[in-house]
């Protein structure tokens, strides 16, 4: 019995050892396969006839917007590009931002060759050819009719609604091209993804046509617009935008971040509700769509913020984003912006300047020490700046006899339109000091990359508010000015 037990124990140990070795081998194989998949190269080569650009950009047209790169083109039009940075399928454009607009589907492992005559946009579309691994899905771009990109000259807004809706249904129901290209592909598991992207693009292209071609020109109410959209897409609801699949479509992303967002903000404005784009994004979206829209919104917002406390308040919004890579990117942007603004904060000495007025006489900030200073940063090409001018004049008239305050308008980034500025000044006849930032002293030191902006500096030359209330908000502005004057 002891011998029998010992025998079975030896068999168990040997068997267990073999199983463990196989499990370790399988685990290693799985890790290797995963790494290999993630590290598959994407290669794009080819030749472009009549290409005068030496650098072309690769720009994404959907949620994969974190990727962008450049392709160097030789003098004979040949090029070769490869990268390991693409780890998901997405649609992109290869462009010189002029006549070269080459659409391309990219995915890990693709090795695509492109040829085209790019002397003009029409020639490029007519001659584009794709070959190599990944060419099967990209044949879709070869099938697009050139005439389909010519603007429709029919004034559809003059047609009756039912006729217009019927035409839009005909446009959208034309899915033959997508079916012909994608349904026969068997050796590319990304084909279904790209077909879905194309069909979503077609849907939102039609919706954008409805909005900009008919509803907006005819001053439709939101209710009328929704009714028209449902005549073409009976099951469509705006809440459908929250579906993750929309992030595969550049046009759906545009509707998410722009068209629908600002139509909802306009509803709030008409209802006297003050809502920021960031707040509205948080109200409208969820999941990955929220991640995408909020990341894009904050990424464009952070570089224009001039107050550290406002940057601090963004942290709560950033934490709503579930994608860790997006969250980390935004927090890094906030940290860099705060470091840049360190010396430009409330209570710190305001950066000095020495600028000429319209007669060429120089005026420095230090020469105004002892006065509260209200600075208006503007430019002649800035429409909102002009809208503030009448309000600025009203505020100035209230304080013009008070020797404890000075009003200054500084024209920034406005050297090329000086003649137009002088014409505006001649017409409006402002009585307060007008200075010119000819060498970008103020633009650089006061981070004037967004105007109009107003700044309040105290009697000691220290910053009170680097983004002060506008003259069009006089009650809030007066409260701050009066407090500083009384000190």
- The verdict on 363 and 465 lying in the same domain is yes
Maximum Cα–Cα distance across the chain: 115
User: Domain limits at 311?
Assistant: 244-251+266-342
The pLDDT, as a whole number, for residue 169 is 85
The pLDDT, as a whole number, for residue 6 is 40
Residues 368-382: tens digit of each pLDDT:
999 999 999 999 999
Quick one: 22 exposed, middle or buried, by C-beta within 10 A (0-12, 13-18, 19+)?
A: exposed
> Is 261 domain-assigned?
no
- The verdict on 473 and 394 lying in the same domain is yes
Domain boundary (120, 149, 178) is at: 149
Q: How many CA atoms lie within 13 A of 30 on its CB side?
A: 6
Residues 257-314: tens digit of each pLDDT:
999 999 999 999 989 998 999 999 999 999 999 999 999 999 999 998 888 888 889 9
> Is 126 domain-assigned?
yes
Q: Is the pLDDT of residue 31 over 70?
A: no
> Is 82 domain-assigned?
yes
- The verdict on 172 and 111 lying in the same domain is no
Q: Is the pLDDT of residue 145 over 90?
A: no
Q: For 256, which DSSP code? A: I
Q: Is the pLDDT of residue 35 over 50?
A: no
> Is 260 domain-assigned?
no
In contact, 190 and 89? CB cutoff 8 Å: yes
The pLDDT, as a whole number, for residue 357 is 92
* Tokens, residue 481: 């000015």
- The verdict on 60 and 172 lying in the same domain is no
Helix (H, G, I), strand (E, B) or coil at 214: helix
Q: How many domains does the chain have?
A: 5
Element (H, E) at 277: helix 277-284
Q: 49: domain CATH number? A: 2.60.40
Residues 191-200: tens digit of each pLDDT:
999 999 999 9
Q: How high does pLDDT run on average in the chain?
A: 86
- Asked if the peptide bond before residue 412 counts as cis, ω within 30 degrees of 0, the response is no
Q: Angle at the Cα of 40 (from 35 to 42), degrees rounded to 5?
A: 155
- The verdict on 48 and 114 lying in the same domain is yes
* Tokens, residue 359: 């007669």
- The verdict on 22 and 131 lying in the same domain is no
- The verdict on 189 and 135 lying in the same domain is no
Residues 43-66: tens digit of each pLDDT:
999 999 999 999 999 988 765 555
Confidence of residue 414 (pLDDT cuts 50, 70, 90): confident
> Is 257 domain-assigned?
no
The pLDDT, as a whole number, for residue 235 is 92
> Is 56 domain-assigned?
yes
Q: What is the mean pLDDT of residues 384-407?
A: 94
Residues 72-105: tens digit of each pLDDT:
999 999 999 999 988 889 889 999 988 888 999 9
Spatial CA neighbour of 168 closest among 132, 194, 202: 202
Quick one: 339 exposed, middle or buried, by C-beta within 10 A (0-12, 13-18, 19+)?
A: exposed
The per-residue b/e assignment along 150-184, b for 16 or more CB within 10 angstroms, e otherwise, is eeeeeebeeeeeeebbebbeeebeeeeebeebbee
Q: Return left, alpha or beta for 46; rule: phi > 0 is left, psi -120 to 50 is alpha, else beta.
A: left
> Around Cβ 39, how many Cβ atoms within 10 Å?
10
Q: Angle at the Cα of 209 (from 160 to 384), degrees rounded to 5?
A: 110
Q: 443: domain CATH number? A: 3.40.30.10
- The verdict on 361 and 458 lying in the same domain is yes
Please, what sign has the CA dihedral across residues 433, 438, 444, 449? positive
Q: How far apart are CA 93 and CA 394, in angstroms?
A: 51
The pLDDT, as a whole number, for residue 306 is 86
List, in sequence order, the alpha helices (H) in 80-160: 121-127, 135-142
The pLDDT, as a whole number, for residue 461 is 93
Report the DSSP beta bridge partners of residue 91: 105
The pLDDT, as a whole number, for residue 179 is 87
Q: For 285, which DSSP code? A: -
The pLDDT, as a whole number, for residue 22 is 43
Element (H, E) at 223: helix 222-232
- The verdict on 70 and 165 lying in the same domain is no
Domain boundary (342, 366, 397) is at: 342
- The verdict on 156 and 195 lying in the same domain is yes
The pLDDT, as a whole number, for residue 47 is 96
- The verdict on 364 and 479 lying in the same domain is yes
> Is 414 domain-assigned?
yes
Confidence of residue 67 (pLDDT cuts 50, 70, 90): confident
- The verdict on 98 and 210 lying in the same domain is no
Residues 312-362: tens digit of each pLDDT:
899 999 999 999 989 999 999 999 888 888 767 889 899 999 999 988 999
Q: What is the mean pLDDT of residues 150-173?
A: 77
Spatial CA neighbour of 93 closest among 74, 121, 132: 121
Q: Angle at the Cα of 344 (from 338 to 350), degrees rounded to 5?
A: 180
Q: How far apart are CA 460 and CA 369, in angstroms?
A: 6
Q: What is the mean pLDDT of residues 21-40?
A: 47
The pLDDT, as a whole number, for residue 13 is 45
The pLDDT, as a whole number, for residue 27 is 44
The pLDDT, as a whole number, for residue 42 is 94
In contact, 309 and 293? CB cutoff 8 Å: no
In contact, 107 and 89? CB cutoff 8 Å: yes
Between the two ends of the chain, the Cα-to-Cα distance in Å is 102
Residues 237-258: tens digit of each pLDDT:
999 999 999 998 889 999 999 9
Q: Give me the percent of the chain exceeding a pLDDT of 70.
A: 88
> Is 348 domain-assigned?
no
The pLDDT, as a whole number, for residue 54 is 94
């Amino acid at each position: 019995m002891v011998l029998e037990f010992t025998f079975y124990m030896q068999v168990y140990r040997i068997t267990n050892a073999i199983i463990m070795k196989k499990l370790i081998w399988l685990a290693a194989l799985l890790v290797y396969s995963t790494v290999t998949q993630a590290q598959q190269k994407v290669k794009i080569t080819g030749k472009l006839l009549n290409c005068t650009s030496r650098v072309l950009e690769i720009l994404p047209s959907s949620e994969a917007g974190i990727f962008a790169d450049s392709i160097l083109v030789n003098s004979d039009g040949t090029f070769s590009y490869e990268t390991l940075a693409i780890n998901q399928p997405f649609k992109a454009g290869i462009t010189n931002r002029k006549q070269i607009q080459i659409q391309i589907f990219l995915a890990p492992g693709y090795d695509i060759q492109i040829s085209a005559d790019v002397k003009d946009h029409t020639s490029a579309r007519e001659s584009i050819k794709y070959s190599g691994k990944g060419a099967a899905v990209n044949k879709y771009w070869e099938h697009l009719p050139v005439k389909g990109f010519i603007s429709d000259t029919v004034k559809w807004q003059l047609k009756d609604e039912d006729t217009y809706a019927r035409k839009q249904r005909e446009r959208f129901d034309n899915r033959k091209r997508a079916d012909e290209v994608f349904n026969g592909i068997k050796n590319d598991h990304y084909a279904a993804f790209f077909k879905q992207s194309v069909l979503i693009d077609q849907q939102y292209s039609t919706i954008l046509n409805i909005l900009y071609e008919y509803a907006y020109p005819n001053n439709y109410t939101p209710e009328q617009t929704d009714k028209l959209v449902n005549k073409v897409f009976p099951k469509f609801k705006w809440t459908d935008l929250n579906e993750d699949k929309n992030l595969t479509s550049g046009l759906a992303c545009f509707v998410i971040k722009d068209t629908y967002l600002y139509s909802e903000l306009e509803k709030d404005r008409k209802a006297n509700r003050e809502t920021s784009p960031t707040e509205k994004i948080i109200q409208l979206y969820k999941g990955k769509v929220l991640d995408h829209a909020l990341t894009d919104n904050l990424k464009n917002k952070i570089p224009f913020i001039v107050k550290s406390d406002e940057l601090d308040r963004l942290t709560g919004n950033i934490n709503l984003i579930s994608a860790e890579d997006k969250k980390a990117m935004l927090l890094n942007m906030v940290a860099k912006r705060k470091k840049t603004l360190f010396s430009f904060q409330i209570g710190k000495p305001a950066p000095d300047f020495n600028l000429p007025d319209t007669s060429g006489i120089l005026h420095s900030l230090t020469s105004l020490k002892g006065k509260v200073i209200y600075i208006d940063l503007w430019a002649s090409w800035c429409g909102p700046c002009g809208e503030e001018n009448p309000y600025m004049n009203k505020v100035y008239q209230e304080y013009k006899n008070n020797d404890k305050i000075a009003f200054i308008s500084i024209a920034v980034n406005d050297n090329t339109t000086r003649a137009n500025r002088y014409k505006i000044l001649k017409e409006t006849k402002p009585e307060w000091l007008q200075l010119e930032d000819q060498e970008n002293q103020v633009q650089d030191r006061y981070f004037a990359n967004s105007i109009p902006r107003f700044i309040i500096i105290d009697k000691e030359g220290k910053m009170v508010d680097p983004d002060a209330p506008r003259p069009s908000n006089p009650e809030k502005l007066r409260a701050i000015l009066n407090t500083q004057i009384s000190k």
